[in-house]
Structure formats: structure tokens, C-alpha cells
Structure 1
């Protein structure tokens, strides 16, 4: 399986490519073979990092580099839109959707409900499978706990980093990690969301239609210590996700490769739309 990457300006391109090429986990014969840098020149996070990641993929992993999005779509079997700038995801998807090849769009799928609806509309029109997800959705300790329990969680408390950048408002850049995890545990049918915050933290409290609650506590200073406390009727289970032996990126890649093979996304379109709606609502 030849994977093409579009947007070589995020650490995810290095992490994904390294995991796919080093063979520690079973991803079959999937390899990143071609990439297009396509940076956002008005976004420091993109402009200052694209050269380094592009050179790394070319020189370390032998990835062919091209300036043509269409060339990536033509040569690859499957496509990953990895551009860090979520503002560009719909535009990039429009350029590849007619090729009919499965497309994974790294988080966030877009920055609005309207754009996300257009992605799924185009996906149906051209019969092009599409998937989007944060890696935190497939954190190993969370996945295992949810799989082994028959009972539904009664609530969840999440804590982790919640930094912000210009150009990508609200929780679209980093907040989406814990929001995806929130929906993974609790489901998409939330009733209302409330946000309190100061210069150091944001606390996002969410009530579900069935009366359950979920809470996110996000630190505006970046760190890597994602944690969860998942509540059940008779106990609460603490999961220090940052101590998982298996990287959550590996868990995500397993699902992405399965999606590439089957054309069926493990994340329903309705849930992805609910997440973007949630972020819009929480940011008001």
C-alpha cells in the first residue's frame, strides 16, 4: 500500500512515517512513498517546520517529494491530509476527492460544521471514503478498558494540555484531542456544554441527553500528560494515558490502515460532525 501525504508541516508526519517504516507494529506493507509539503505561509507553526519535516521524509525514509497535490493523489493508493492548518483541509480534500481513493484527514477535519458537511457530501458524491480522528481516541489503556466492560460509563474526567494558537480558534488545534476522547467514552449525544476558564486553565463541563456528565480540565501550557478517570456504577478507573507502552499514534494508524483496506471509517460521520459542532458551541 503506497500512502501519499499532503502537508508536511506537523510532527505527525514524522511519527506516522517512522511507525509505518520501522515495523514495530503490524501495518502490513503500508509505506509512505510520496509527499507534498504545501505549507501555510501565514501560520508560523507551518512555515517554520515544513522544511525540516520535508527533508526528514526525503532523506531518512526515501519519500518522493513533489509540489503537486494531484501527483500525490495520482501515484498513491491512499491519501493522508496531514497539513497542520485545519483551514486548508476542505480545499485539499476538494483537490483529491475525484480520484476516489480513501482519504484520512488528520485532526481537525475542518474548522466548521458547514465545511465538515461539505467534506462528507463530496465523499458521497464521488464515492470516496473519508475518515478523521485524533490519535487520543485510540489510546491503548482507554481502548482496552472500554472493550472489556459491558456496562456504559456513567461519567468521565479528562485532564491534559490545552494550548492555543492563532488562526485556529477555540479548541480546534489541541483541545480536539480531549474532546475526541470525551466522545469516545461518552458517545455523541450531548445536551449542553459550559466553559469556564482563566489564564492557566479551561474547564469544559458537558451534560449528555441521558443525564451523565463529562469534564475536561485543560492546561494552557503544553505538556504530554493526558489522563482519564472513567466512572462506572460501582467504581472509578484512573488511566494515566501518558504511561501507556503502546503509543496512541500506533493505535490510530492501525485503524487508519484498516480503513484504507476496507473503505469503512470506524468513526461515524455523525460523530465527527457532532465533535465539530461541540467545538463551535464551546467556543462561543
Structure 2
């Protein structure tokens, strides 16, 4: 059984990830076997208790680092990406595989620090938007493959420059990842309007 810790209860992802692993029926037919969320930490105690109760998480820790030694992997799912370096760092240093919810960070310097630390400590990390795996996107990409190479395209999605969660970083990553998935890594120019 893989023991997972969750850092951040303010995001709906904390609830979803714990329900997918901990509830016998999962959610919407999706169930992850052989894994269980065993501990959670969040800024607000009341919200953390709600998530722990709904997701059947047995332990609420006082500090994120209290999970070290109790978990095999950690998910840093704080809504505000500006906290991701600070709260992923102890786990990466401890060699605990770490999923960092989108965006990996809102500071390029801190994003680089995360990657450098993970390389130094040889700790697996990942951070991504799941939209590239949505059925309509997968089908769209398959349909495009029969049309020949793309030379231009338009992608739109939510990205609020005034979001309290560091503006465009909060949802903008979804759009960026869709572009990468559909157009590949050879994009030469991007324009945001």
C-alpha cells in the first residue's frame, strides 16, 4: 500500500484525490487501488477537518513536515502556487516522491529551485495539468494527425489576471499545456490577448 500525504486542504483536489484512493467506491467510477491518503495538512483547520472526514483521511498533522516518515509520496495541492516551493522543499530533501499541483510555482526562480533540488536529491517530482488527458483533447489530437502538420492555431481557456492565486499562473497553465499537447514542442511564437 502506498501511503500518500496531502499538503493543502484549500483546493478541491485534496478532496478528490483522497476520495479516489480512500473511499471504497472511489468517485465517478474512478478508484485507485493500493494507495491511501494517510495524512493531511492545511492552513485552515476547519477546512482540513472537512476534507479529512469526507476523504476518510486518518490523520491531520500540525505541520507538513510531520508527515515525513509516515508517507511514501506527497501531493502539494495548495491553491496558491506561490507556496509550492516552500511546502514541497522538505519532502524533496527527504527523498519523498512529490506531485506538485499546477502551477509548479509562480516564481521562475522558485520553479528552478524545485527542479534543481529534485535533481540534487534524486527525488522524483511531477507537476502538470490533467487536461491533456481529457477524452475530447485526445480525440481532437488524433483527428488532427490525419490533417498534416499544423502551422497555426488558437487555444482559449480561463486565465484571470486578477486572480488572488497569483493571477494568470493559476489557470494559465492549462492553456499552455494544451498548446504543448496539441502543437508539440516546436512552437515558435505565442501571443496572449
User: Structure 2 unaligned runs (5+)?
Assistant: none
RMSD over aligned CA atoms reads 2.2
Is 1:16 equivalent to 2:11 in the alignment? no
Q: Given the alignment of the two structures, is residue 25 of structure 1 paired with residue 22 of structure 2, yes or no?
A: no
1:59 aligned onto 2:53: yes
Count of residues in Structure 1 that have an aligned counterpart in Structure 2: 184
- Distance between the aligned counterparts of 2:20 and 2:101, measured in 1? 16
Give the whole-Å Cα distance in 1 for the aligned partners of 2:47 and 2:87.
Answer: 19
Aligned to 2:100: 105
Say whether residues 1:162 and 2:159 are aligned partners. yes
- Is the contact made by 2:7 and 2:77 (CA closer than 8 Å) also made in structure 1? yes
Is this contact kept in 2: 1:2–1:32, CA < 8 A?
A: yes
Query: For residue 78 of structure 1, what is the aligned residue in structure 2?
Result: 73
Asked if the contact 2:18/2:56 (under 8 Å) is kept, the reply is no
Shift of 1:79: 0.6
* Structure 1 stretches of 4+ moved >3 Å: 50-53, 144-153
Superimposed CA distance per residue, residues 217-274 of structure 1 (whole angstroms, 9 cap, x where no aligned partner): xxxxxxxxxxxxxxxxxxxxxxxxxxxxxxxxxxxxxxxxxxxxxxxxxxxxxxxxxx
Note the C-alpha offset of 1:36. 0.8
User: What secondary structure is seen at the aligned counterpart in 1 of 2:170?
Assistant: coil
Matched, 1:119 2:120: no
Answering whether residue 185 of structure 2 is matched by residue 191 of structure 1, we say no
| Structure 2 residue aligned with 1:140 | 135
User: Which residue of the partner structure matches residue 174 of structure 2?
Assistant: 177
> In structure 2, how many angstroms separate the alpha carbons of the residues matched to 1:73 and 1:146?
41
8 Å contact kept, 2:91–2:97:
no
Once the two structures are superposed, residues 86-132 of structure 1 have per-residue CA deviations (whole angstroms, 9 ceiling, x without a partner) of 11111112111122121000000011222211111100111100000
SS of 1:79's partner is strand
- Relative to structure 1, the CA distance from residue 14 to residue 32 in structure 2 (aligned partners, 3 Å threshold; closer, same or farther) is same
Contact 1:137–1:181 (8 Å) recurs in 2: yes
* In structure 1, C-alpha distance between the alignment counterparts of 2:189 and 2:139, rounded to whole Å: 28
Tell me by how many angstroms 1:52 deviates.
5.1
Q: Taking structure 1 as reference, are residues 160 and 129 closer, same or farther at Cα in structure 2, changes over 3 Å only?
A: same
